[in-house]
Amino acid sequence: MMPTRNVLALIAFTIIALVGGWHLWQSFARTRPERTQDVHQDGAAIQVEPSELYAKTKQAAPAAHAGPLTIAIAADGSAEVPVRYRFPGVDRVRTAKNFKQWLAQFAPDQQAVITDFDKTHFSVYDTVTSPEQVAWMAQRGYPMPEDILAVKGMSDDDLRRLFDQGNDKAGFLLYERMSERVRARITAYEAGGEKVDQLFKEDPAFSVEAAKTRMFMQSLSDKSESAYKGYAVAYDASFDSDPLARSTHIIAGLMWASMYGDSRAKTDALGRYVQDDPDLNRLVAAASAMSLFTTEDQSRLNCLPATYGSRIPDKVWR
C-alpha cells in the first residue's frame, strides 16, 4: 500500500527533525539534568540510573574539527591514523583511487570481510574516488578496512578501553556487537511463537541489557564528531522491522553524515538507497530543502533560527 500524503509529510518532518534538530539537542543535552530511566518488569517500572544504563566514559570533549585537515599521503600510498583513532597495530592505512584498487591490496579472505562491511554500511568504502578521500576518512575516525580486520581479534573490553580513551569508532563497533546480541536473543525468542514484550517481562536482566545497549548508542551519537556516525545510524536503522521507520532513519543517517562533511553519503550512498522510488525521493527532497534553509539561516544569523528558550510555549491540551 502506498503511503498517503499525510504519512509522507509526517515522515519528511521526522527526517528534518532528526537531521536538523541535533544542533539543538547537543546544546540542551549539555545542561539537562540526569533522569532515571524506566525499565518495565511485570508491569512495574524499575528505576535505573543512567550511569547503570551505559558506562560513563573517560572521554574529554575534544575540540571540534574546525576547518580542513592536512591530508598527507606517503610515498607508499599509505595515510596516517590520528593517535586518538588508532587500533593496536594500525598506525597507517592503505589508500587507493577506487574501491577495486583498494580491495586488491588485501588477501582474498580479507576482501570478503571488507566487502561485507561495505555492503551492510551503505557503500562507505565503495564510493571513494581518490586516495585523499580514503585519508580523510582515516583522519575523521571511520572504521577502516584494517580496523575491521583487527577488531576480530579484540574483546568487548578491548574496544571499551579504546572508547574510554576517546576512540569513537571503537565505540561504534562495540555497539554493533552489543546490538547484534540483543537482536539474536529477540529473534530466537520470537521464533518460538512468543511476542518480544513477554521476553522483557520474563527476563528483567535482558531488559536492562537492551536498555544499556540503546543508551550506549545515544551516548555515541551525542558525543562523536565523526561523520561516520551518520553511517552508523543508517546501519542500525536497517534492522528496524517497521518499513517507514527504517527508511526514515536510513535517510536521516546518511544526510547526517553529509552534514558532517562526507558528501558521498548524500550524492552516492543515499542515491543508491532511494534509486527510483518516488516516495523516498520526495522525502529526501523535502529534508534536503529544509536542511538548506537551516544552513542558510545558520550562515546568516550564526545560530539556529530559534534557539532553545525562545520557542513558542508548548501546546495546551484540552
Domain regions of the chain by residue span: 5-301
Which portions of the chain are predicted below pLDDT 50? 1-2, 16, 19-66
Per residue, the 3-state secondary structure of the chain, as one string, reads: CCCCHHHHHHHHHHHHHHHHCHHHHHHHHCCCCCCCEEEEECCEEEEECHHHHCCCCCCCCCCCCCCCCCCCECCCCEEECCHHHCECCECEEECCCCHHHHHCCCCHHHHHHHHHHHHHCCCCCCCCCCHHHHHHHHHCCCCCHHHHHHHHHCCHHHHHHHHHCCCHHHHHHHHHHHHHHHHHHHHHHHCCCCCHHHHHHHCHHHHHHHHHHHHHHHHHHHHCCCCHHHHHHHHHHCCCCCHHHHHHHHHHHHHHHHHCCCCHHHHHHHHHHHCCCHHHHHHHHHHHHHHHHHHHHHHHHCCCCCCCCCCCCCCCCC
Look at residue 25 in the predicted model and tell me its pLDDT: 36
pTM (2 d.p.): 0.75
Look at residue 123 in the predicted model and tell me its pLDDT: 96
pLDDT tens for 205-225 read: 999 999 999 999 998 988 898
Look at residue 285 in the predicted model and tell me its pLDDT: 87
Look at residue 283 in the predicted model and tell me its pLDDT: 84
